[in-house]
Amino acid sequence: MISRDEFVSRFGGVYEHSPFIAERAWDQGKIDEPLTASGVHQALSTVFRAASEEERLGVLRAHPDLAGKLAIAGGLTEDSKREQAGAGLDRLTPDEHAEFTRLNSAYIDRFGFPFIIAVAGLNKDDILAAFRRRVENAAAEELSTASAEVEKIAGFRLKALLSE
């Protein structure tokens, strides 16, 4: 049987730099063995949705800008680096990079957290199209959309960690 410390060590980064999600899921008795991607995802998502608005915003703010400064400086988590590279965000043209930079700034100014999208299965053109569309959303709509994307990212990460 897995211990709390092992669980948090293994799954604490599924929600970007937010181990409190895994800690609370364990402490609230939401984790059942055998561990499955869908079971752990349900438990962590339930905790994320029940977190205070400030805590959820903290999770959103913990995500890196897409193709932003952390990517250039090599400061992404391994998961983020792999996800962004898989979508081609590590191979942008100078014009594409300039547009991502402009959109990142506009988005953060408008919403107070970085643009978040589950990039699995998407390419840079898909992501740019979503970015251009979502930067125009109302604040409440975008908070909901970004939160749903965070849960999708968590699901992809869990599937990579646990096969069913």
**Residues designated as active site:** 63
Query: In degrees rounded to 5, what are phi and psi of residue 34?
Result: -75, 150
Do the Cβ atoms of 101 and 94 come closer than 8 Å?
no
DSSP code for 23 = H
Number of C-beta neighbours around residue 33 at 10 A = 9
Task: Work out the widest C-alpha separation in the chain, in whole angstroms.
Answer: 51
CA pair distance 55, 52, nearest whole angstrom: 5
